[in-house]
Every structure is written in C-alpha cells, then in structure tokens.
Amino acid sequence: MYSCYSTKHVSADGPITYIVKEEFEVGSNEKDSRAFDVLYNASDLEVLCVCGLFNFRGYLSRHILCVLNQSGMQEIPSHYILSRWRKDVKRSYVLDHSCSGVDIKNPVHRYDDLYKRIVQVVEEGRQSQDRYKVTL
C-alpha cells in the first residue's frame, strides 16, 4: 500500500517546490519512505516530478497528483492528457496489407485477412458522411 503527502517549500522567484513523501510497505509490518521533489508553476500550469513518470510513460505520477490536489486543482491541465489516452484518438499509422499469401484452409489466416480488409472499409467510412454512406 502506498500513501503520499507533501510539504511545501516556497521559492520567491518562480515555481513552488514541493517535497512529496511516499510511504510504502517493505515487509509485513515495516514501512519505508522516499522523497520526491515536485516543481509546480501555477502561472503556466506546469508540474514536473523528479521520478519522470510522465516523460517515460505518458501519465502523471501520484506525486504530481498529490501536489495538484493540495494546490486546489479541480481538473488535470489538458496538456497532460496525451492523445493516445483519449477515446477520440485518430490513428496516424496504417496497417500493413502487403501479405497476399493467405492460406484459406487455415482459419486463423482467414480471420486475419478478413480483419485487415474490414479495417480498411471502416477507415474509409470514417473519413466523411458521404464515404460512410458508400461503405454501408
């Protein structure tokens, strides 16, 4: 079980530095803690944690969420919600349809081939209302 709490260190010229302490269980009854520095710039709505989770994984760490909660933020700033986590994401890649040798006796190959073809139809219909009507 993890728990986080923060202490505030105010700097007069720029972002506020928070020290977020994270407690975690080491053994059955033992607890340990680590400290993480989190920089919070209220004017630019920028938050940076030394753990680097947002930079490496693309989502905010519990340390940053703790600071945002303590500073009274009701919503996560939109620039921290990456397009890959959104429901309305539009793919920027194309499936590889170069394999033409389909073994029609193999049900897995038939399924894969049909799936690739139907995805092409769906992508075409998604482009506009006219193309949607044509693909139906």
Number of domains in the chain: 2
Pair 78, 109 in one domain: no
Mean pLDDT of the chain: 81
Indicate whether 75 and 97 sit together in one domain.
no
pLDDT of amino acid 60 = 92
> Do 105 and 53 lie in a common domain?
no
CA distance 20 to 16: 12
CB 85 within 8 A of CB 77: no
| Cβ contacts of 63 within 8 Å, gap of 6 or more | 4, 6, 20, 22, 36, 38, 49, 51
pLDDT at 47: 92
5 contacts 63 by C-beta, under 8 angstroms: no
Q: Length of the chain in residues, anyone?
A: 136
Q: What's the average model confidence in pLDDT over 113-131?
A: 82
Q: Are 77 and 38 in a shared domain?
A: yes
Instruction: For the chain, give the percent of residues with pLDDT over 90.
Output: 7
pTM exceeds cut of 0.85: no
What is the residue range of 80's domain? 2-84
**Same domain? 24 vs 65:** yes
Domain termination site, one of 62, 84, 106? 84
40 has which bridge partners?
A: 16, 47
pLDDT one-digit tens code per residue, 58-99: 889 999 998 898 888 889 988 898 887 777 767 665 555 555
Strand pairing report for 2-9 and 31-41: unpaired
